[in-house]
Amino acid sequence: MAVLEIERRGSVVQLTLNRPDKLNAINNELVDQLLKTLAELATDDGLAALVVTGSGKAFSAGFDLAEDPDLNRADSATWHKMLNRDVAVTMALWEFPLPTIAAVRGWCLGGACELAMACDIVIATEDARFGEPEVRYGSGPTTLIMPFVIGQKKTNELLYTGDTISAPEAEQIGLINRVVSADLLEQSVTDIARRISCTPSKVLALTKLAIRRAYEAKGLRAAVNANLDISAILNSATVPERDRFNEIAQSEGLRQAFAWRDQQYGTIL
């Protein structure tokens, strides 16, 4: 089974994260496929828009914590190399020359939340939830674009607590564009992709370039690069809570580790 499904509908291509049994957790193979596919599609003259979604009941639960367990004992240089690939995926979406649309249902967490935020437009179902809960076990955001999407104060709250937010709240704070019922998600995405495709491709490409440069002039790229360095140090540091999380994950499984992690905050995600 392909971990990334590619479907072309006229001038629109849809990429579907396809690990439904793992809530589409992003593993190394999926990172490789996304990087390769985005690079290829970036040169497609017949493309007007790109849609990114997840199969099954979730967009994605974020990076796969069950993969690369030896990283728990890695030094900062090793972490930097690994995290750099994760950042590259998010930035490949951010830099994609034509409009991108994230179609989100269910969980959209961690690195997957960053993928969605890197898209130009996000449409979500009523049951979608967004956040970066990795801070709860001694890690942090890989690609720090949240402050540029929703502002400093709400970013502070989400990244200090690891809380998740509902789709209506995500819309209210500007993390997503709109909320629709589950049965209308596909049609809503199709409609906006069709409207986008009516705009001349050169206009789309140059308009997106102008918007992207405006955010980069505000320091987005510098912030992402600085955060990569800090994240490598953070992930290689000794954090007792992370050690305990990993112990529970190895002995009792990730579900129990997540439950232990979240109960410290008085809430289960």
- Alpha-carbon span 114 to 27, nearest angstrom: 15
Sign of the dihedral through C-alpha 134, 139, 141, 143: negative
Closest-CA residue to 101 (of 167, 61, 49, 43): 49
| Ramachandran assignment for 13, one of left (phi > 0), alpha (psi -120 to 50 degrees), beta (any other) | beta
CB 183 within 8 A of CB 127: no
- Alpha-carbon span 145 to 158, nearest angstrom: 13
Q: Determine how β-strand 12-17 pairs with β-strand 49-54.
A: parallel
| Ramachandran assignment for 201, one of left (phi > 0), alpha (psi -120 to 50 degrees), beta (any other) | alpha
- Active-site position among 134, 171, 216, 252: 134
Mark whether 247 is an active-site residue: no
Mark whether 134 is an active-site residue: yes
- Active-site position among 29, 114, 241, 247: 114
Annotated catalytic sites, by residue? 114, 134
